[in-house]
Amino acid sequence: MRVITFFLIILSLPSFGQLNTQLYNAYDHYQEKSLTTRRFKHNDIMAVIDKLGKDFKVNQVGTSVEGRAIKRVTYGNGPINVLMWSQMHGDETTATRAIMDVFHWLEADDQFNAVRNKIKTAITWHFIPMLNPDGASRFTRRNHFGIDINRDAVHLQTPEGRTLKHVRDSLQADWGFNLHDQSRGTSVENKMPATISLLAPAFDVSKSINEKRGDAMQLTKLMFDQIAQYLPGQMAIYDDTFEPRAFGDNIQKWGTRTILIESGGYKDDYEKQEIRKLNFVLLITAANAIANKDFEKIPVADYNKIPSNGDGRIRELILKNVQYEGLLRDVAFDRSEVDSEDYRNYYARGYITDLGDLSTSQAFFTLDAKDYEVLPGKVYEKELANVDALNTLDVEQLLKDGYTDYIVLKDYDPFTMKKPIHVHTKMPVANETIRMGGDPSLLFKKNGKIIYSVINGHLIKL
Ligand SMILES: [Zn+2]
């Protein structure tokens, strides 16, 4: 019986079932290696675009407020116009990196030639990577004037928004892909991180389904199925409330079948390189499904089988059952990022964002401290002249001995600090208590041995 079931599953796999895993496995060949973090700039992607070969047409279609070129890259010559735009929000960079990888895939000559040729003849594939280069220059959401371009689809007061509208209108795009990042803490029904959320946006308040939105819902479900195996329980449908000022909703309304991709959080993938890879698989499998009309086989109603984004946030770290300062509490930490002056670098700060009974909350990392003695981290007794003096110490061994915090007498550059310790330049140093907004260093001891420490909101196994 088991054997029969196995064969039925194999036989029922649709013909596009293999492309996703083939792309995932071959990804390294196509990755644009100059982009490895979230904080890259306009000139970084222009350097990639300028090197594209004869298979691509590159046109400047607009100019940002601060004078940066907004370019459209076009591949193929088929009758179906597919338009993908990324980074309308300057600090949402995952899909821009994936688009650079897709370019490298398109210009390769290898085992995917048949797929490429089908795409090339069935669709004309347009990309606008980094629609908001001014926001990207300061790693911020909004444009130069502080306007959220994604609330400018009707007023069209930003040159960036006007560019997108003009390109969509001039192509009468059949398909539109609106590529964003959502907060790392966004959840799937408050249970798991929403690593990727998708949406076929509504074009009216009552969320009507016409033929084109129905097509977008079919393709959305197909896309969900392409990468669900890599993200079990970690994909969802984004909030589908109609937003009358947003581009996705309006582009759907203007007659382009529109799909939103939101890249969220994944384990310790802070630079979103794994999520970028999954975007790469998503974009190509979507183009292939449009070229082959595979999405037509998916029942529209199956879209509703995908779970939804939740209201509750996934915390960075939850310590359960912490017995400390005479109280039993769960303790949640989150992280915030402090940008360097050129917005190319950052350091992360951990701080306590919730306390008490957190049994209904989830986190990327969790430690149940029930069987541990919880103690404050120790401050190293000797004051150091400067941070360089740390190099003369065996910081890792000292951490195993419980030393989490150091005093240095000279200011230092926190962007260069790579050690998992707390460095203080202000006196006196007392290890903080557990309090909202606080950042205490903690030790977790069992049988007289320190097993874990928490420093700067990071759980470290010793
Ligand atoms: Zn966004």
Instruction: Look at residue 3 and tell me whether its pLDDT is greater than 90.
Output: no
Q: What local confidence, expressed as pLDDT, does residue 201 receive?
A: 98
Task: Note the pLDDT of residue 426.
Answer: 77
Average pLDDT over residues 216-227: 98
pLDDT at 431: 65
- Distance in Å, CA 256 to ligand 1 centroid: 19
Single residue among 261, 282, 305 that ends a domain in this structure: 305
The Å distance, Cα 376 to ligand 1 centre, comes to 40
Mean pLDDT calculated for residue range 288-310: 98
Q: Packing angle between helix 42-50 and helix 94-106, nearest 10 degrees?
A: 10
Specify whether 75 is located in the same domain as 140: yes
Q: What CATH number is associated with residue 301?
A: 3.40.630.10
Structure tokens belonging to residue 138: 């300061």
Range of the domain at 324: 315-461
If asked whether residues 69 and 163 sit together in one domain, one would say yes
pLDDT band with cut points at 50, 70 and 90 for residue 53: very high
130 has a pLDDT exceeding 80: yes
Distance 194 CA to ligand 1 centre (A): 15
pLDDT the model gives residue 10: 44
- The two structure tokens encoding residue 38: 């979230």
Q: Give residue 409 CA to ligand 1 midpoint distance, Å.
A: 42
- Over range 243-272, report the average pLDDT: 98
**Residue 429 pLDDT > 90:** no
Quote the ligand 1 centre to 282 CA distance (angstroms): 18
Which of 254, 283, 305 is the last residue in one of the domains? 305
* pLDDT tens profile 375-390: 999 999 999 999 999 9
Mean pLDDT, the chain, rounded, equals 95
Are 335 and 293 members of one domain? no
Same domain for 278 and 326?
no
Instruction: Give percent above pLDDT 90 in the chain.
Output: 93
Judge if 428 and 360 occupy the same domain: yes
**Residue 310 resides in a domain:** no
Residues 134, 96 within the same domain: yes
Ligand 1 midpoint to CA 201 (Å) = 14
pLDDT at 120: 98
When computed from its CA atoms, the radius of gyration of the chain, rounded to whole angstroms, is 25
**Å from CA of 171 to ligand 1 middle:** 23
**Last-in-domain residue among 305, 327, 342:** 305
Q: Is residue 415 part of a domain?
A: yes
Verify that 248 and 146 share a domain, yes or no. Answer: yes
The pLDDT of residue 416 is 85
Kindly state whether residue 271 falls inside one of the protein's structural domains. Answer: yes
Q: Is residue 85 part of a domain?
A: yes
The answer, yes or no, to whether residue 6 has pLDDT greater than 90, is no
Do 432 and 294 reside in the same domain of the chain?
A: no
Q: Kindly give the distance from the C-alpha atom of residue 182 to the centroid of ligand 1, in angstroms, as a whole number.
A: 6
What's the pLDDT score for residue 13? Answer: 44
pLDDT at 15 over 60: no
CA–centroid distance, residue 180 to ligand 1 (Å): 4
